[in-house]
C-alpha cells in the first residue's frame, strides 16, 4: 500500500461492492492485492457487507486495472455511486441469496452457471463412456479444463501476491495430475465437486449475513419532509439534523430524532430486539427504522442518515470483523503451516516409494488424493463462519458484540459485576426528599431555596441523580441561579461556584471524606434514609453540609430474573457501587448478588482486578467508562445511545437486563459451534487420510470429503441464526 505525501491532495475515495468476497481469507487476498498496487491508501474491507473502500490515485493505477485484478481473483467488483451507497443496500428482503452479495437465484451467478455447464458436460461424458469410453475421455478433459481454468488463474495470481501455497493450487495440481496419469474422469469430478463446494460456500455465507442485510434494509428509502407548503417526499439519505418529518401509522421512522408532536406505539425491534411496541410521545427519542404502529408523529431529525443508531450498529458489526477471536488467529497461523506441510507429505507419498522401487502410478494417485484431503477450506471457515452467524444472531436480538475476541471471552466468563444506578435499577431516579442540614437542620424549606442551590450545582453533571435534581426543580417551577466553574467529578459528584462560594453535590462517602466531623450530626438521618433503600447525596460547601437529598430508583423489573439466569449458568454476580452499604444492601435485599458498596472509582477498579476472571462489567456506558475499559469485557446498558455503542466491548440495545445472560448464552453457543466445526474439519480429514494411505479413497472421494467438510461446517454455523436464549 502506498502512503500519500503530506502535501498531496487526497485521492478520491472509491467504494466497491465485491461479489464473492465471502470470508476472512477472501478479505486477506483482496487487501494483499490492493496493497501491491501503486497509488492506493486507506484500504478497508468488510466481508459482512461485501465492500472495499480505498483511496485510489488513478494517475498511478487506473480503476480499470484494479477491477481487472479483482476479476482475475474470481471476484465481481461493482463501483458504488457514492461512499455511503453500500451502507444501506437496496436488496429486497425476499430476494434469494446466491452468494455474498445476494441479488438473484444461485443459478444466475457466474459460479452457478459454471456448475450447471460443467455438470451437464460431466453427465454427458459419463453417459458417453458407457458406449465409447475413449471418446468420453475428451469430454472429461473438457470439463477439467473448463472448471479448472479459473482455479489455475487464481492460483497464479495468488502466487504473484505472495500466497504460493493456496487452496486453488492444491486443486489445480490434483486435477492436472489426474489427467497425466490417465484418470480424466476423476480429474473432471475433482474440479466439478470443488466448484459445487465454492457455490455452497457462497450461498451459506450469504445466509449467514442475511440478518445484517435485513437490518440494513430496514431504513426507508424516502421520507415525508415537512415544508411550509406541506409534506414533500425526499430521499431519506438527504435528511439533515433540524429538519422535521411526518411519520404515519404503519411506516418506518426515516432517521433518528425526537418526537415534537403526536403519540404512538413504536416498534423498536429492529434496533433493540424488543418485540413489544413502546408508547412514546412529544420529547421522546426515536430510532431510524422503528415502525409507528398506530399514531401519526412529527419528528425532528437529530442525526444524518449515515450516523443513525442503525447505521452505527451496522458499522460496528463491520468493525467487529477486525477484532478476531484468538481461536481464529490460531487457525490462520496453523493453516499457513498446514498447507505447505500437506504438499510436502503428498510429494513424499507420491515419489518416496517409487524411488525405492515401487510402481509410480498408484503412489502418485495416493499423493494427489492427499493434496485434496489437505485443502484447508473447512478448517479456515470453521471459526469465521460461526462467529459471523453468532454476531448476526445477536444483532437481530439487540445484543451487539464488537468482535470475536469479546465473544470468546464472554463464553469463558466467571464473574459479572454490575453497577447499581442505571444498571440494576431503572436509571430513572426521582428526588423523594430534600432535607436542610447543618445550620439549617430541621428548618422547613417551603420556597425551595435549598433545592435551587442543589439544582444549580447538579446542572454540571449528566449523572441520573443530578438529572433527578434538575427535573425536580423544573417541576416546581424554581428559578435556578447562574453558577461559574461548574464541573463534574466522576464517581464523586459535581461542583460549582455561586457568588464566590464553592458548592458541592457529593455522594455521602465523598462528603464524609471532605467534611470530616462536620457531617457527624447528619449520620442518624443518613442511616435512616439509606436503610429505606434510598440513595443519598449531600449538598455542602467546603466546611458544612447544607442539605441531604434522597432518591428513589426502582429496580429493573427483570433484575432478579437476569441474576438468577446467570447463577444457573454458573456465573458469580457482584454489585460494585458508590452508594452507602445500607442503601446498597437494601436495594439488593431480594437479589441473588454479592454487594460491595461505598466504592470510589479507583476502588471499583481494584475490586474488578481482584475478582476471579474473566470478568464482565455491566454499566450505563457513560459514568462507568473506566470500569468498562478495565474489565475483560465491558457491557453497556445504553438503550442504543451513541455513547453506549462506542464505550464498551458489547452493548444491550434494549432495556432488558436479561440481555446479559443472553449474551453469555450466545457466546457459549457460538464457541461450542466453533469447537464442533474444528472437530468436523479435522476429523473428516483424519479419517480420509487413513483411507487414502490404505488405498480405499479415490480422487473424487477425496474432493468430496473436502467439499463435504466445508458444507458441514457452514451448515453447522448457520444453525446459530436460529439461536434463541434458554429461559426457564
DSSP symbol at 482: P
| Length of the chain, in residues | 728
Cross-strand pairs, 418: 575, 618
| Residue 585 in grid coordinates | 444492601
Nearest to 138 by CA among 173, 188, 178: 188
Q: Are strands 13-19 and 76-79 parallel, antiparallel or unpaired?
A: antiparallel
Give CA–CA dist 567/553, Å, rounded. Answer: 24
Nearest to 324 by CA among 411, 410, 404: 404
Q: Contact, 612 vs 638, CB < 8 A?
A: no
DSSP symbol at 589: T
600-606, Cβ contacts within 8 angstroms, sequence gap of 24 or more = 600/491, 600/492, 600/509, 600/510, 601/490, 601/491, 601/492, 601/626, 601/627, 604/491, 604/576, 604/578, 605/630
- Give the residue carrying C-alpha cell 442505571: 422
Q: Contact, 721 vs 208, CB < 8 A?
A: yes
Give CA–CA dist 74/397, Å, rounded. Answer: 35
User: Exposed/middle/buried for 93, CB within 10 Å: 0-12, 13-18, 19+?
Assistant: exposed
Q: Show Cβ contacts of residue 104 under 8 Å, excluding neighbours closer than 6 positions.
A: 95, 96, 98
Catalytic residue from among 137, 419, 624, 662: 419
Strands (E), 254-393: 257-261, 264-267, 278-280, 285-286, 291-292, 297-301
Nearest to 224 by CA among 238, 204, 209: 238
Give CA–CA dist 397/400, Å, rounded. Answer: 8
3-state DSSP assignment of residue 498: strand
DSSP symbol at 177: H
| Residue 686 in grid coordinates | 483424519
Question: Does the annotation count 419 as an active-site position?
Answer: yes
Nearest to 648 by CA among 310, 306, 403: 403
Q: Active-site residue numbers? A: 419
Amino acid at each position: 500500500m502506498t502512503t500519500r505525501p503530506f502535501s498531496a491532495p487526497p485521492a478520491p475515495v472509491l467504494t466497491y461492492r465485491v461479489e464473492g468476497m465471502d470470508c476472512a481469507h477472501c478479505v486477506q487476498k483482496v487487501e494483499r492485492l490492493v496493497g501491491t498496487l501503486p497509488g492506493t491508501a486507506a484500504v478497508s474491507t468488510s466481508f459482512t457487507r461485501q465492500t472495499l473502500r480505498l483511496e485510489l490515485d488513478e494517475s498511478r493505477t487506473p480503476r480499470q486495472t484494479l477491477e481487472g485484478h479483482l476479476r482475475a481473483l474470481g471476484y465481481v467488483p461493482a463501483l458504488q455511486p457514492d461512499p455511503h451507497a453500500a451502507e444501506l443496500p437496496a436488496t429486497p428482503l425476499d430476494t434469494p441469496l446466491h452468494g455474498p452479495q445476494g441479488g438473484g437465484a444461485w443459478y444466475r451467478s457466474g459460479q452457478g452457471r459454471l456448475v450447471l455447464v460443467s455438470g451437464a458436460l460431466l453427465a454427458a461424458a459419463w453417459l458417453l463412456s458407457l458406449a465409447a469410453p475413449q471418446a468420453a475421455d475428451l469430454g472429461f478433459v473438457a470439463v477439467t479444463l473448463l472448471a479448472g481454468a479459473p482455479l489455475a488463474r487464481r492460483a497464479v495470481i495468488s502466487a504473484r501476491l505472495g500466497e504460493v501455497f493456496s487452496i486453488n493450487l492444491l486443486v489445480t495440481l490434483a486435477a492436472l495430475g489426474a489427467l497425466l496419469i490417465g484418470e480424466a474422469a476423476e480429474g473432471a469430478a475433482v474440479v466439478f465437486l470443488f466448484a459445487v463446494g465454492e457455490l455452497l460456500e457462497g450461498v451459506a455465507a450469504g445466509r449467514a449475513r442475511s440478518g445484517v442485510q435485513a437490518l440494513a434494509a430496514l431504513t426507508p428509502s424516502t421520507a415525508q419532509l415537512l415544508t411550509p407548503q406541506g409534506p414533500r417526499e425526499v430521499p431519506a439519505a438527504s435528511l439533515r439534523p433540524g429538519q422535521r418529518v411526518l411519520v404515519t401509522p404503519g411506516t418506518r421512522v426515516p432517521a433518528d430524532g425526537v418526537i415534537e408532536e403526536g403519540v404512538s406505539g413504536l416498534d423498536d425491534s429492529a434496533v433493540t430486539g424488543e418485540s413489544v411496541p413502546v408508547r412514546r410521545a412529544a420529547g421522546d427519542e426515536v430510532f431510524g427504522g422503528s415502525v409507528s404502529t398506530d399514531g401519526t408523529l412529527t419528528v425532528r431529525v437529530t442525526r444524518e442518515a449515515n450516523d443513525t443508531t442503525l447505521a452505527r450498529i451496522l458499522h460496528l458489526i463491520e468493525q467487529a470483523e477486525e477484532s478476531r477471536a484468538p481461536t481464529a488467529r490460531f487457525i490462520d497461523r496453523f493453516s499457513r503451516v498446514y498447507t505447505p506441510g500437506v504438499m510436502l507429505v503428498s510429494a513424499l507419498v507420491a515419489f518416496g516409494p517409487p524411488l525405492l522401487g515401487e510402481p509410480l502410478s498408484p503412489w502418485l494417485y495416493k499423493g494427489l488424493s492427499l493434496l485434496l484431503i489437505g485443502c484447508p477450506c473447512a478448517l479456515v471457515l470453521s471459526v469465521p463462519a460461526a462467529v459471523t452467524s453468532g454476531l448476526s444472531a445477536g444483532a437481530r436480538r439487540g445484543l451487539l458484540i464488537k468482535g470475536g475476541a469479546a465473544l470468546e471471552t464472554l463464553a469463558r466468563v466467571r464473574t459479572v459485576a454490575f453497577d447499581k444506578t442505571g444498571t440494576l435499577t431503572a436509571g430513572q431516579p426521582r428526588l423523594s426528599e430534600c432535607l436542610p442540614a447543618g445550620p439549617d437542620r430541621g428548618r422547613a424549606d417551603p420556597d425551595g431555596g435549598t433545592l435551587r442551590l442543589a439544582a444549580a450545582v447538579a446542572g454540571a453533571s449528566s449523572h441520573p441523580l443530578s438529572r433527578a435534581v434538575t427535573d425536580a426543580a423544573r417541576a416546581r417551577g424554581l428559578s435556578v441561579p447562574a453558577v461559574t466553574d461548574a464541573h463534574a467529578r466522576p464517581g464523586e459528584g459535581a461542583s460549582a461556584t455561586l457568588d464566590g462560594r464553592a458548592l458541592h453535590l457529593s455522594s455521602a462517602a465523598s462528603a464524609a471524606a471532605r467534611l470530616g466531623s462536620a457531617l457527624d450530626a447528619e449520620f442518624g438521618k443518613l442511616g435512616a434514609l439509606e436503610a429505606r433503600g434510598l440513595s443519598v447525596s449531600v449538598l455542602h460547601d467546603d466546611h458544612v453540609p447544607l442539605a441531604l437529598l434522597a432518591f428513589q430508583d426502582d429496580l429493573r423489573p427483570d433484575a432478579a430474573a437476569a441474576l438468577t439466569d446467570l447463577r444457573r449458568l454458573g456465573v458469580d454476580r457482584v454489585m460494585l457501587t458508590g452508594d452507602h452499604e445500607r442503601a446498597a444492601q437494601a436495594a439488593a435485599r431480594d437479589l441473588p448478588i454479592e454487594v460491595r458498596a461505598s466504592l470510589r472509582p479507583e476502588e471499583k477498579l481494584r475490586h474488578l482486578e481482584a475478582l476471579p476472571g474473566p470478568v464482565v462489567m455491566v454499566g450505563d456506558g457513560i459514568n462507568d467508562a473506566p470500569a468498562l475499559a478495565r474489565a475483560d469485557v465491558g457491557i453497556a446498558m445504553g438503550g442504543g445511545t451513541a455513547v453506549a455503542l462506542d464505550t464498551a466491548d458489547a452493548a444491550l440495545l434494549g432495556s432488558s437486563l436479561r440481555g446479559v445472560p443472553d449474551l453469555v448464552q450466545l457466546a457459549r453457543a457460538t464457541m461450542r459451534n466453533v469447537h464442533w466445526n474444528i472437530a468436523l474439519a479435522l476429523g473428516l480429514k483424519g479419517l480420509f487420510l487413513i483411507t487414502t494411505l490404505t488405498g480405499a479413497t479415490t480422487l473424487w472421494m477425496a474432493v468430496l470429503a473436502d467439499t463435504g467438510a466445508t458444507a458441514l461446517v457452514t451448515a453447522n454455523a448457520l444453525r446459530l441464526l436460529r439461536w434463541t436464549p434458554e429461559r426457564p
